[in-house]
Amino acid sequence: MSYTAANLIREIDQLDKNILYNYIDRKNRNLIKIVRINHPEGPIFIKRGTREKINNAREVSISPNMIWRVANALQEDVPLNIDRIVGASYNTRSVLESLLAYTKEFYITYPGRIEYNTSNSKIEKGHKHLLWLPSNPHKKGVLEEIKSTKIISEIPSQLAIYESLAITPQFVSDNTTPYNIEIDRRHTQIQIALYLIGRQLGFRTWIAQNDKSIVYNNKKLGEMDGVIVSLNDEKLMMPFQEAIKAAMLIDCIWFKNSALMPAVMEVEHTTGVKSGLLRMKTFKDKFIPNLPTRYVIVAPDEDRQKVLNECNNNQFRDLNPLYFPYSSVEEFYSLCQRRKIKGITEEFLDCFMEKTS
């Protein structure tokens, strides 16, 4: 069962707004007041302070980014340490943790922790965690602790690491919209992650023609091992010149063994999802009609609902589009970096992609 920022918002919105909530840590004498909640994915506006001062306290917000980071980390019946997930960059993390604990699907738990300070490991008393148990809800508005049978061995976080990236600023025809190089940088980082995943799985990768000159780790993308120089060189594509034209600006296409095309992917960082779907639709219509492949929208986690809405438009139903969120791309990329996986089939991709209908 997948948990999203919208799910989290709906659960917290069911809490009584007319009462004040304690923090889980009772050493914190302040209280929490829910002011208002923006749907579907936040922010949540709150006040915090003593009972006497809270009404005059400054209003602060729990950001959608923080909400998404927590939602992405949730697994049923797996203890979650919010401090570890969001770090010190969010000073409202204890508020979000407490509000979640008051909803009916979350419990407080203290799993055991394996201590490695000596040559012989031992189990110590654990830190506070949340436990998501949607199949065993409790009464909302109260804090419920549940005895944990879990033992946690903390390993280093699964980082996705990128090398240096050189991007040439693009001209923007609309003078009212300033060019933001960080938008292009993030789009390209995900594109590179897709290429490197494909390379690890033994795929050759088509990178959009207009992105081949981007320099990554002192080398142009178009010159990297396994990047296809021309689609006319692909046996699968040779008979379909109109499809080749339609594919020129598609962000990423994976090819395998001259006869298979595991995925066609559009990275939609800030542009409309529909434009990517239209490019893939045009490509499909000009290509082998029933060739098995995956048509995939790759987009930020916070854009999930927008992706689902566009993918369910009747115009794109025959694509059976999939959604590949950034967090899943980087989880897969991190796995490739750390473990150099090999010998798996392309069906492994489906573990990281979400059906949109």
The residue with greater pLDDT, 86 or 66, is 66
**DSSP-assigned letter for residue 23:** -
**Over the stretch 199-257, which tens digit does the pLDDT of each residue have?**
999 999 999 999 998 888 888 999 999 999 999 999 999 999 999 999 999 999 999 98
Instruction: Tell me what pLDDT residue 185 has.
Output: 79
* Residue 66 structure tokens: 């923080």
Backbone angles phi, psi at 46, to 5 degrees: -140, 165
Among the ranges given (131-140, 174-183, 298-307), the one the predictor scored with the smallest mean pLDDT: 174-183
Confidence class for position 125, pLDDT limits 50, 70, 90: low
The residue with greater pLDDT, 297 or 152, is 297
**Over the stretch 247-292, which tens digit does the pLDDT of each residue have?**
999 999 999 988 899 999 999 976 679 999 999 999 999 988 778 9
Confidence class for position 44, pLDDT limits 50, 70, 90: very high
Name residue 227's amino acid: V
pLDDT surpasses 80 at 115: no
pLDDT surpasses 80 at 165: no
Q: Say if pTM beats, i.e. exceeds, 0.75.
A: no
Domain residue ranges of the chain, discontinuous segments joined by +:
5-152, 165-355
Smallest Cα–Cα separation from 205: which of 253, 265, 257?
A: 253
pLDDT surpasses 60 at 121: no
Q: Check if the beta carbon of residue 282 is closer than 8 Å to that of residue 246.
A: yes
- Which residues, listed in sequence order, are joined to residue 296 by a DSSP beta bridge? 265, 322
The residue-averaged pLDDT of 336-357 equals 86
pLDDT surpasses 60 at 59: yes
Backbone angles phi, psi at 213, to 5 degrees: -85, -5
Instruction: Tell me what pLDDT residue 300 has.
Output: 87
Instruction: Tell me what pLDDT residue 100 has.
Output: 97
Backbone angles phi, psi at 111, to 5 degrees: -70, 155
pLDDT surpasses 50 at 157: yes
Instruction: Tell me what pLDDT residue 46 has.
Output: 97
Cα gap 205→251, rounded to integer Å: 10
Instruction: Tell me what pLDDT residue 271 has.
Output: 66
pLDDT surpasses 50 at 176: no
Identity of the highest mean pLDDT range in 81-90, 125-134, 137-146: 137-146
Instruction: Tell me what pLDDT residue 9 has.
Output: 96
- The CATH number given to 165-355 is 3.40.91
Q: Check if the beta carbon of residue 237 is closer than 8 Å to that of residue 227.
A: no
